Structure 1
């Protein structure tokens, strides 16, 4: 029957795709293509990340494409905002990021554009535990009661302020009454150095994708084949499902 024939053909193609490739001794082009790169600040970019336009998409996991900023830092898009990557910790699958709006040095006179709520649902990223949640208020009145929480002026209305308050702070309801530019949630790793500095320093997120350690330890470079939606280990002369064959 046509359906049975199509099903058999699908499994034949799947099995062939999982077999080692380029076993004739030639150098695997995908192994060469997935050479580690940087954006200029000596921070190595490898799987699950890849630099869009510089590295091939198959060198990283879908949705983990990065862009390079003028200052040499890589950026990742999350929740419709650009986040600067301060450091990637490949040993424990985590990275420290900060919203690009707050990446400049701590200056209370800076005008800040409105950000978006940080939401990671539906992604392969999750917040690391034991961090602090902030609430940002935009276009706030320059009320004396809010000055200690002011982190800059509002880009939409430069005569108003942007206020950042810890979610448990008793001034939260007071800010709601005196700010009319919207409310946005944000995260910081800790409050050391003040809230504005904490926003610039950022917070930690963890990724949960196919593990690369076995492939990397066997001399391969990790990647992802979107055609079969599967992790791949690109070895010097062939491609495997998990790690390079010994010898």
Structure 2
């Protein structure tokens, strides 16, 4: 067979090989990564920007505001400082305590049950607002706030209340008379240096270092899906994990189509 006849046949057989146009739309969309600020290449379980909701697990929707990546957890907005895929850990900080200790709303940090949990370096700072005067002597970790046009005195404590009740029972009794209290997580390693010098600047620095959260989002299923060449996602109709493959979604992993090897077989027959 002459090459003049063979070339059109090769073009006919191979012309549709890069069949990206025929690939499942969800498979293609979930190839995209979330990129914002210092966070790049974020995939499953996260969605946001070029990653539609079905590319991530519910509760891991990311947004980008002025090149600051953010995640909303139980109605509160956190700045996303880092992602460690190996340990499946997020490093986040509360956006309402970025610049000062005076938020517009008083809210504790709540984590999504069975989805996010604290790691071993977890510590907490207790903030008290609207406290009466005078304060017990020997306690200097105080600050002032004007919240909703109301001036108030506040205090912060870097040890938990059980320890404080043993070491300073008068102080813990006093703090219970404050109008509001908020618990803000931080790395325990960042809190320890504040014990000897409790300044507002040091406290804000510790809070802005964030704290770590370990996620759980069908990760073992995603590992199986990715190893089979698929893209991890979520079926929003059945509310279950889904493995998006080039041809169609599968429950756990992609299976090779019987037709996948036919082009090469046909090619060898023509060349021979």
- Aligned with 1:133: secondary structure? strand
Distance in 2, matches of 1:210 and 1:163, equals: 38
**1:160 paired residue number:** 153
Unaligned 5+ segments in structure 2 are 1-18, 195-202, 261-272
Task: Return 142-151 or 178-187, whichever deviates more.
Answer: 142-151
Is 1:63 equivalent to 2:55 in the alignment? Answer: no
Distance in 1, matches of 2:146 and 2:155, equals: 5
Q: CA deviation at 1:205?
A: 0.9
Give CA deviations for 1:78-121 in whole Å, capped at 9, x if unaligned: 243211111111112211111112234xx6xx644343122325
Unaligned 5+ segments in structure 1 are 1-22
Which structure 1 residue ranges, 4+ long, deviate > 6 Å from structure 2? none
Distance in 1, matches of 2:224 and 2:242, equals: 11
**1:19 paired residue number:** none
Q: How does 1:1-247 map to 2 (within 5 A)?
A: 26-34=22-30, 35-51=32-48, 54-70=50-66, 72-104=67-99, 111-120=102-111, 122-140=113-131, 143=135, 145=137, 148-150=140-142, 153=145, 155-156=147-148, 157-167=150-160, 168-169=163-164, 170-171=167-168, 174=171, 177=174, 180-190=178-188, 191=191, 194=194, 195-211=203-219, 212-245=222-255
Q: CA RMSD in A?
A: 3.0
Distance in 2, matches of 1:203 and 1:99, equals: 9
- Aligned with 1:166: secondary structure? coil
Distance in 1, matches of 2:20 and 2:39, equals: 35
Distance in 2, matches of 1:147 and 1:49, equals: 44
TM-score using structure 1 length: 0.74
Distance in 2, matches of 1:236 and 1:115, equals: 47
Give CA deviations for 1:17-52 in whole Å, capped at 9, x if unaligned: xxxxxx99921100121211212334333211111x
Give CA deviations for 1:158-205 in whole Å, capped at 9, x if unaligned: 452352432123457526525633112222122155333221112111
- Aligned with 1:205: secondary structure? strand
Closer, same or farther: CA 76–221 of 1 in aligned 2, 3 Å: same
- Aligned with 2:206: secondary structure? helix
CA contact (8 A) 1:98 1:199 kept: yes
Q: CA deviation at 1:123?
A: 4.8
Considering only CA atoms, is the larger Rg found in Structure 1 or Structure 2? 2
